[in-house]
Structure 1
Amino acid sequence: MVDRFGRVHTDLRVSITDRCNLRCTYCMPAEGLDWLPRAEVLTDDEVVRLIRIGTQRLGITEVRLTGGEPLLRRGLPQLVARLASLTPSPELSLTTNGIGLSRIASALRDAGLSRVNVSLDTLRAERFAEITRRDRLADVLEGLRAARTAGLTPVKVNAVPVRGVNDDEIADLAAFSVNGGYRMRFIESMPLDAQGAWARDRMVTAQEILDRLGERFDLVPVERQDNAPAEEWRIAGTQTTVGVIASVTRPFCGNCDRVRLTADGQLRNCLFATKESDLRALLRGGADDAALEAAWRASVAGKGPGHAIDSPEFRRPQRPMSAIGG
């Protein structure tokens, strides 16, 4: 799939639920959100069919399952096994908050999952409870260890530094990854919270993150591979890499190769898209594979040049991150 700017799209992010068992302050209100009615969420058969069309007809080679919290999807190992059995088989990964991962990591690996990204914004139990409104840090750490043991590697740890909240732990999180054998990723916070409370002055920039890391570690630049969103550095004296995803201050829109499918079957050609293509309606209306392929191609063809967060033209998407999928 090629858009009008010549970008080839091979990476598909699939949200399999909008539900989450945390209430992170930078993502949603304490009371949570109104979850999608189950009848509106794509079934396993519908998810598999759309991904089959993506891999067989549209050149999708990587599929990442997201949420909400994807581990809340019932029968997840069975869904992963069905996706892994597609021909051609996509590279399958998953982004999770890690709660419950210890119980299912081996089953996911056996089903065909390749690797996981685990969100972890702090190593302090009290602060974790403040950020997520849940006292579950021990479960996340146990999930990380289980993922590594199961071979879901490289296990990546994702953190969103927020000024005055957890930005004093940037170097500590990197050291944790060195000691645990994980790959650390820091992500600039983005205006995708349900409350609409994102403030640019609370965002810790990529340069600030690197400056904090440089106070404790010697960083060796790693050549950027393909269209990977993270700029990477190796921590000298180790094999550990640390990455920074600078979606706001150093946007990588010019090389973006991603499309997103929401849990209710809406195709989004950009994380910050303000329009969606309703694939679920086509699916449930009896559309054949050719019609679904055409709708998918039309959506990608209409993709804009970038999200324009730093311009006056920027418009927040109506859906928050938890409803879009990472």
Structure 2
Amino acid sequence: ITTNGFNLFNKIDEFYSAGLDALNISIDSLNPSMFKLITGHDKLTYILKGIDRAIELGIKDIKINAVLAKQFNKNQLNDFLDWVKHKKVTVRFIELMETGNGATFFEQNHLSGQSVKTQLLAQGWLQVVRGKLNGPAEEFCHPDFEGRIGLIMPYSKDFCKSCNRLRVSSLGKLHLCLFAEQGIDLRPHLNAQDMPATVNAIQAAMGNKTISHELDKRLTGATTHLAMLGG
């Protein structure tokens, strides 16, 4: 499940009993004041309690997503490092990505994940070999830390080379890339409950999956904001 974690502490036992074994939680800052500024809610304490309970229950695949942004969390790497010292979670720093209506915000806040990678390597962190079926994050481990750090850097060279991701939006459209010009409508097949036709449509679309997005050229496709693709 992917969640903001606001109600996690109250629900995690129920979720675990139902078979939940993996969590993705958004936490852009471990500073309560900054977290409230970013989200508009004073919920950080409750989220952290929920994560601690998830660890107690034995959920091993817990990922924390934090979007890098100059004006908000540029200098908070050490806060996250201190946190994962004795906590078996993976904190993944995600580079801010430009969208159609977010050019100004992007210009003011984009921070390269490479600077974080340089700091990690200088502090003795080691890059983990990525499996073929793993996601886009580069992960790092350290012998003195229980947790890990991940970096998702869509502006880095060859980021898209090993892409194995597709997304189906809440409108039933297949997006080969977050920044594609348009989605491919699967609704007629889905509404007809025609799974062979759905599979054929997806397989046919894969032949047109381009090698790379063009974010480096500031071309964001049809994506005006990421929420529009809630898949």
The alignment's TM-score, normalised by the length of structure 2, stands at 0.88
Taking a change above 3 Å as real, the CA distance of residues 192 and 102 of structure 1, as seen in their structure-2 partners, is farther
Matching of residue 311 in structure 1 with residue 217 in structure 2:
yes
Matched, 1:152 2:59: yes
- Of 93, 98, 104, 1:186 maps to 93
Report what 1:118 is aligned to: 25
The 2-side partners of 1:293 and 1:231 are apart by: 30
Question: Structure 1 regions of 5+ residues with no counterpart?
Answer: 1-93
Partner-residue secondary structure (3-state), 1:253: coil
Per-residue displacement from partner, 1:193-212 (whole Å, max 9, x unpaired)? 86454424622212211234
Residues 1:229 and 2:140 are matched in the alignment: no
Match of 1:100 in 2: 7
Q: Residue 325 of structure 1: CA displacement?
A: 3.5
Aligned length: 230
8 Å contact from structure 1 (residues 119, 159) kept in 2:
yes
Residue number in structure 1 paired with 2:229:
324
TM-score using structure 1 length = 0.64
Measured at CA, do residues 100 and 202 of structure 1 come closer, stay the same or move farther in structure 2, by a change above 3 Å?
Answer: same
**Cα 1:235–1:325, aligned 2, differ >3 Å: closer, same or farther?**
farther
Question: Offset at 1:268?
Answer: 0.9
Q: Would you say the 8 A contact 2:84–2:145 is kept in 1?
A: no
The residue type equivalent to 2:96 in the other structure is S
Identical-pair percentage:
29
- Distance in 2 (CA, whole Å) between partners of 1:192 and 1:140 is 28
Shift of 1:250: 3.8
Counterpart mapping for 1:130-209 below 5 A = 130-192=37-99, 195-200=102-107, 202-209=109-116
| Equivalence for 2:194 | 288
Alignment RMSD (CA, Å): 2.3
Instruction: Note closer, same or farther for the CA distance 1:154–1:218 as it changes in structure 2 (3 Å cut).
Output: same
Q: Per-residue deviation at 1:139?
A: 2.1
**Contact 2:100-2:222 at 8 Å conserved across structures:** no
SS at match of 1:164: helix
- Displacement after TM superposition at 1:101 (Å): 1.4
Aligned 8 A contact 2:92 2:149 in 1? yes
- AA aligned opposite 1:261: V
Point out where structure 2 has 5 or more consecutive residues left out of the alignment. Answer: none
Cα deviation digits, residues 161-200 of structure 1 (max 9, x gap):
2113211101211221223321111111111486454424
AA paired with 1:190? M
Q: Aligned runs of 1:27-66 on 2, under 5 Å?
A: none
Q: Which has the higher contact order (CA 8 A, sep 6+)?
A: 1
